Every structure is written in C-alpha cells, then in structure tokens.
Amino acid sequence: MKYKTPYPELLSTAIIWAIAASVTGALLWLLSDVFWHGMSQVNWEFLTQSPSNAGREGGIAPIIVSTALIVGVCLVVSIPLGVGTAVLIAEFAANKSILGRLVRLSLDVLAGVPSIVFGLFGNAFFCKTLGMGFSILSGGLTLACMVLPILIRSTQEGFRAVPDDYRRSAAALGVSRIATLWELLLPAAMPGVAVGLLLGLGRAIAETAALIFTSGYVDRMPESLWDSGRSLSVHIYDLAMNVSGGEANAYASALVLVSFLVLINSAISWLAQRFRQSKILVV
Amino acid sequence: MTKQITTNTGNPPSIQTDQLSLFYARKSAFKDVTLSIKSGSITALIGPSGCGKTSFLTCLNRLTELTPNCQISGRILLGDQNLQTLNVISLRRRVGMLFQKPNPFPLSIIRNIEFPLREHGVRNREEIDHIIEVALQDVGLWDEVKDRLKTPALSLSGGQQQRLCLARAIALKPDVLLMDEPCSALDPLSSEVVEDLITKLRLKYTVIVVTHNLAQAKRIADHVAVFWFQDGAGKLIESGSVAQIFESPQHTLTAAYVTGRTG
Amino acid sequence: MAIASGAIVLLILLFLIWETLPILQIIGLARFFNDPAWHPTSEEFNLVPMLWGTLFVTVGSILIATPIGILSAVFCHYYAPKAIANLYRRAIELLAGIPSVVYGFWGLVVLVPIIGRIHPPGPSLLTGILILTLMILPTITLVADASLASVPSEYLRGCASCGLGRWATVRGVVFPAAKSGLITGVILATGRAIGETMAVLMVCGNVVQTPKDIFEPVRTLTANIALEMAYAVGNHRAALFVTGLVLMVMIIALVIAAELLNKGHIYEQ
C-alpha cells in the first residue's frame, strides 16, 4: 500500500531541498569562477615574484609574507588570551556574578564590532598612540582584538556542551579541578575550540577593512614587524577597485587566498575530529 | 477519583506478531517473538533490562524507523492488517505511546494537545476545545489545569506531565496504547494516579505496558509476556494470563523471576 | 586576563569618543543629521543617507538570509541523509570562510554586470543585498544548526509517536524549542550585515544618496569610513570617527536587544 503524505509535508520537503541546492549552487558558482579565472594566472613565478606596475604584473611574494606575519602576530596573541578567558569565565568565575555578566556582555559587543571600527581603533591606538605607525604589528594586534571574541565564545560553547554530570561525577571521584579541566572538559570542548579557531583564523586571513589603516598598503617585502605590509585581501581590494586592468591578478590573488582558507579549514576540522576521537577512546 | 475514560468508543484491535526480530546494525535486539495480544486487554511485558522489551514496543508503532540501520524481520498484524505496510502517520495516530520520561512539548498545556490534533486535520475551534477538555478530564488533569491552560507544560509536575502526555495521546483517538515504563520516573503518589488511569483504559484500548515493577504488572495487567536474554538476543520465554504467569509459571526462569529469585 | 579581554571594548569606545570629542564639542551631534549634505571638506556632515543605506542593505539581506539559513539547518538535521548533511555543513563552513573581499570582488565582476543588464547602473542596493545575504547566511545556519542539535530527542520521539510528519515536527515543536538560539543567530547576522565593509563597498556604488529603489547605488556607514579614511584629516577624520561611533551604538543596541530577548520566555503561548 502506498502512503499518502500530507501536502505541507511535500511542499516543505521540496522547498528545503531546493534551498540546499541553490545555496550549494551559489557556492560552487563563486568557487568555480574564482578557480577558473585564477588558475590561468597562478604559477610558480606568480607566487615568488614581487608585484610590478601597481600589481598588474608580477607576483605576490611579499604580500604572502606580510599576510603570514600579520596573521601570525594575531594568533600568537589571541589564542592563549582567548582560551584562557573562556576557561576562566566558564569554569572558575561564577556565571551570575556581576563581573562575569559584564565580561560576557562586553564580549558580545566586541564580537559585533564592525571590522572597520576595529580599523579606526587600531589606527588611533596602535598606530598613533602607541606609535607603531602603519606596521604589521599594528595590523596583527588589531586583528587579535577582533578574533578574540570568536575564540572565547566558541570555546565557551564547547564547555557548555559538557554536561554538568561530568563535572559533578569528576568532583565526586575527587579529581582536581585542573585535572577535570584537562582530561574531561578540554577534550569535550575541543570541537568548540576548533570551530573558534576555524572562524577566527578565517576571519583574520580574510580581513581587509581593519587592515587598510593599520598595516597599510606598502607592497614591498617587509623587513621586520615594524614595517608596513600589504595583506592578500588588501591587495585584491586594491587591484579590483583602484587599478584598471588589475582584474586578472586580482583573480589569481583571490584563488591563492581562497585556497589557503580551504586548506586551513579542512586541516583544522580534520585535526579536531582526530583529537576528539583519540581522547574519548583513551579516557 | 477520575471518571471512566470517555474519549474512545471504537473496537480496539488485537495484535499478533509472528517470528518478529529486530536488529540494530549487526546487534540483535530480540529474536523470533511470536505473541498474540488480545483486543481491549492490558498486556504487561516484563523481564530483566536489556532483553528487548522496549525495542519490541517501538516496533508496534514503527518508532524504530527513527533509528538508522534498524532492521525488522517477521510480521506484525494489527487487527487483520499488516502493520508494516500501513501509512506510518495514520498508524502512529492509531497507536499512541507513552514514554518512560514524560515528554510534553515545550509549548503551553493547551498547545500540547491542540497542535497534534490540528496536524491531523481537526481544525474546528469548538471541536478542538471539546476534545481537549474531554481528554484532560479523562486523565484527571482538567480541574488542576483548566485555569492555566496557556502556561508552559514544562512547569507541571512530573506526574502531571505524564498525564498530559497520556491526554495528548488519547486526544488523537487511538485504539492501541504503548507504554514504556510509564510510572518509573514518577513519585509513588503520581505513579499510583497513572496506574489507576491505565486500568481505566481496559476494554476501550489495547494496552501494552513495559514494566519492571512486578507488583504493578500483577495489579494492572490481564496478560503478561516474559522476555529474557538468551543466546545473544532477547527472547519471549513465556506468555499467559496474570494468574498463569504468577501462580503456575511453566518456565523455570519465569518462576524464578516472578518469585524474585533472579533477574 | 578575562578583564583584559573585556576591557578591549571599553578601550575601543574610549578611543572612538576621544577622537570624536573635539568635533562634537565644536559643531555638536545634531549637525550630523541636519546638515544639507555630506561634504566633509566643506564642513557639511549629514550622515542620514548613509544611515538609510546601512539600514536598507541590512534589512534586505536579513529578510532573505533568515529563512534560507534556518531552513538550511533544518535540512541538515531532519531532511538530508547523513552523508549529504555533512557535506552541506562543510559547504556552509566554506561559505563562512570565504573572505568578504572575495565576495566583493566576485560581486563586482560577476553580479554587478548581470544586475546592470537588468536595470542599469549595476552597482546598487540590490547587489549589496544579494552579496550580503550570501555572507551572513553561514552565521545564521551554523548557529541554527547548533541550536537544533540541542533540541532533546524526547521531543522528536514524542512527535513521531503522535504521528507527526517532519515539517509538522519542525514547525510545531523544534522551532519553539530552539527559538532563542535561532533568534540569537539572526541577531549575530544582523550585526555582521551592519558591520560588513569590503563587500558592500565594492558592489554598492557608494553614491551618497537615499535610494528610491533597489537598483540605485547607495553608500553605507562602513563604506563611508573605508573610502575616505585614507585622506581624511582634521574635522573630516573626526567625522569619520563619528560614523564609527554611530556604528558602535547600533551594535551595542543590538547586543542589548539580544540580551533582553534571550531573557524573555521561550515558550510559545
């Protein structure tokens, strides 16, 4: 006997599959467009040469180096600060204390602050007040402020996913708080931390607006963290908007940027998966 | 305390399983269960934990389909229809279920009953209100909640929540009710109220109750089926009337179990 | 350490106010809304057209992205087979990871010409809305995905035992149960839409005007800062910090709204 499915059920199923298909379609369109146009430009020379003629010709070597340095500064500062803060808030500070509430509220605000406002702040604070000028250091520190709430929040989410039972039973077994944190909570919170890293790293590498007025435009090879450096994203922006005939190299740079991101995304989610599995199997 | 159950007036069907087996992936939950359940009776499924009673119960409304990699072999007859070929939505409307842990939806009390009703095509406001009132009266909840029908169902006590779930089920006018240890998560007083309700369902519904409480089985059931874990799978080792099982069990394991010597 | 992290917000606010204080003292806040136009070099500072620009782009993209995003999460949980659901999740994560400058660039070279053929000029409010929709979609989907995952399975079994179909279950029980999470996702996405700079800067045309239809170019508050910061000095620079302050105020209002909403009861009446 065939069974009759109610009309709203059929309709909603059709709509939901159609939505999933069109979102996937849009993603594939964007990716294939960037891949197709970028692929013809990207080669070894492109990755190892300096840009010339305002970026229309030549490669992006110094730009890759600047990007790596900026993101490096950002992560070195933000990871310990972010995970540490999350641990403190989630495990040690009473959630309902006024301080805890205030910190959480300010993090919510921080998470929502537009990147361009971070740019303004970075420009005023790191570049001017602290006298770092347009430099990789200014850019990296500005990004660190930006990535921080993402890291904290998703680490917290991970902690929240740990049932209170774990904590209570660990406490009942006389396991110390630190050991509980290390053996039970951190592994359980790993997916949260990994998602935070993923989003944070993605946001840092992808960021443009906060960098234009902090790390600057200079497309020479940086000699130190105090030099100005142009990030990949700023390079794409500049080629697309300010340089006529820069489209081809903009596509190529976009392909490099997107590839980095895809690579990092995959690596991190793979790592998180592995780490979680091994920990759970051992424990 | 409560009036007789008034919601359902139909003829409840009998249920017959024939060589029924259930596998989760490669693990067998129970094997070759052949059991006939009389129309309008209350049948208790007893036996130690992990011998497939709950799994057996979920075959009867095909809730097994929610579990991936779950395979059934054998046949189930509901009345004279093959249960596995019925429309699953109308089947589950006919075969209501009560779970171990009360699970009202996170909606208001009234929406808990109204929402499934509407989804099953009852749209008339007066009719809905009438069904809700009757169902709540049937479970003895009406007087307790009639002034706060719009408050969240999750604010009710455990016993009230379980009775609401029963009202939710019987509002759909089922003729079979499945209950998976419906009292085990409740305090003794609420448990007594729910138990009392179950006995009032006799004749109007075919009721199948999984229970670990032998005294309860003895009090409420007409028939008893004993499950046991044997040779790597749950098996039905004996079934019969309450008197047979508790007073003159045929199987030695049953005898030991009902007198509390094992299990 | 926690205090240090929280203090960054205060530091940002402090610097924005510090940079804007001189101009606010001299010309006052009112002129940012009453001046005849935005000509910062000739001391005219009307931000209203940019406010409208930001508002329209945000509202438009939220209206489109909310249903798509939430239904995407529903797709992953209740409709798609597990393998497809996981692939789709990866796709959404990928979408989240694509830089806004790439969205902007793609919008500029692909979408703008298409829109331009339908109705010139091309760089417009509509292009901005479309690009932004794609960008905030992952935020809504990923947050909704997480909150759907936390809907207790008892509810789902309860629904199934009442003979409810997928959609009835989703609409009647899952949405009410996951409501606060879903709303949080939308609020986060709203924040992201308001704050997005590069993509809208590249596809919206950046003409300072209050748009009359969706095919007209607009300039958002964020684009305003990005466009002029490079050469702004004195009062002009301070005026851009005022723009930033306005953005900050919007975000803070949004966060407070989210706090209040989450405190409200989550049960459907």
DSSP class per residue in A117-177: HHHHHHIIIIIIIS---S-HHHHHHHHHHHHHHHHHHHHHHHHHTS-HHHHHHHHHTT--H
Tell me which residue of B263, B209, B237, B231 sits closest to B28, measured CA to CA. B231
State how far the Cα of C172 lies from the Cα of C166, in Å rounded to an integer: 10
Nearest-Cα distance to chain B for A1, in Å, is 6
Domains of chain C by residue range:
47-223
Q: Is A157 on the interface with C (CB under 8 A)?
A: yes
Q: Is C265 on the interface with B (CB under 8 A)?
A: yes
Q: Which residue stretches of chain C have pLDDT < 50? A: 264-269
Q: Which residues of chain B are within 8 Å of residue C77 when distances are taken between CB atoms?
A: none
Please report which helix (H) or strand (E) contains residue C255, including its range: helix C234-263
Mean pLDDT on B140-165: 92
Residue A156 lies in a domain: yes
pLDDT at A12 over 90: yes
What residue ranges define each of the domains in chain B, with the CATH number in brackets? 15-258 (3.40.50.300)
| pLDDT at residue A225, rounded to an integer | 87
Residue A113 lies in a domain: yes
| pLDDT at residue C2, rounded to an integer | 58
Residue A91 lies in a domain: yes
Provide the CATH number for the domain formed by C47-223 in this structure: 1.10.3720.10
Q: Which residues of chain C are within 8 Å of residue B101 when distances are taken between CB atoms?
A: 154
**What contacts C38, CB < 8 A, 6 or more positions away?**
C44, C45, C46, C47, C49, C50, C208, C224
For chain A, positions 37-56, list CB contacts with chain C under 8 A: none
Q: Phi first, then psi: what are they for B21, rounded to 5°?
A: -130, 150
Residue A16 lies in a domain: no
Q: Is B85 on the interface with A (CB under 8 A)?
A: yes
Which of B101, B106, B168 minimises the CB distance to C177? B106
Summarised one tens digit per residue, pLDDT across range B165-200 is 999 999 998 999 999 999 988 899 989 999 999 999
| pLDDT at residue A149, rounded to an integer | 82
Summarised one tens digit per residue, pLDDT across range A246-258 is 899 999 999 999 9
Question: A208 vs A203, B241, C225, CA distance in Å?
Answer: 9, 77, 13
Q: Which residues of chain A are within 8 Å of residue B86 when distances are taken between CB atoms?
A: 1, 3
The verdict on a CB contact (< 8 Å) between B85 and A1 is yes
State how far the Cα of A151 lies from the Cα of A197, in Å rounded to an integer: 6
Nearest-Cα distance to chain C for A113, in Å, is 6
Q: Is B115 on the interface with C (CB under 8 A)?
A: yes
State how far the Cα of B40 lies from the Cα of B222, in Å rounded to an integer: 10
CATH of the domain at A258: 1.10.3720.10
Mean pLDDT on A254-282: 71
Number of domains in chain A: 1
Q: Which domain holds residue A94?
A: 44-282
Q: Which residues of chain B are within 8 Å of residue C152 when distances are taken between CB atoms?
A: 103
Nearest CA in chain A to C246: A117
The residue that leads in pLDDT, B140 or A172, is B140
For chain A, positions 1-20, list CB contacts with chain C under 8 A: 5-6, 8-9, 12-13, 15-17, 19-20
The residue that leads in pLDDT, C151 or B5, is C151
Which of A16, A30, A233 minimises the CB distance to C79? A16
Q: Residue B128 corresponds to which tokens in the numbers above?
A: 């809905």
| pLDDT at residue A279, rounded to an integer | 46
What ipTM was assigned to the predicted interfaces of this complex?
A: 0.89
Nearest-Cα distance to chain A for B28, in Å, is 24
Nearest CA in chain B to A9: B119
Residue A229 lies in a domain: yes
- The DSSP code for C38 is E
Enumerate long-range contacts of B134-137, CB under 8 Å, 24 or more apart.
Answer: B134/B6, B134/B7, B135/B7, B135/B167, B135/B168, B135/B170, B135/B171, B136/B164, B136/B167, B137/B2, B137/B3, B137/B6
Q: Is B88 on the interface with A (CB under 8 A)?
A: yes
pLDDT at B151 over 90: yes
| pLDDT at residue A282, rounded to an integer | 35
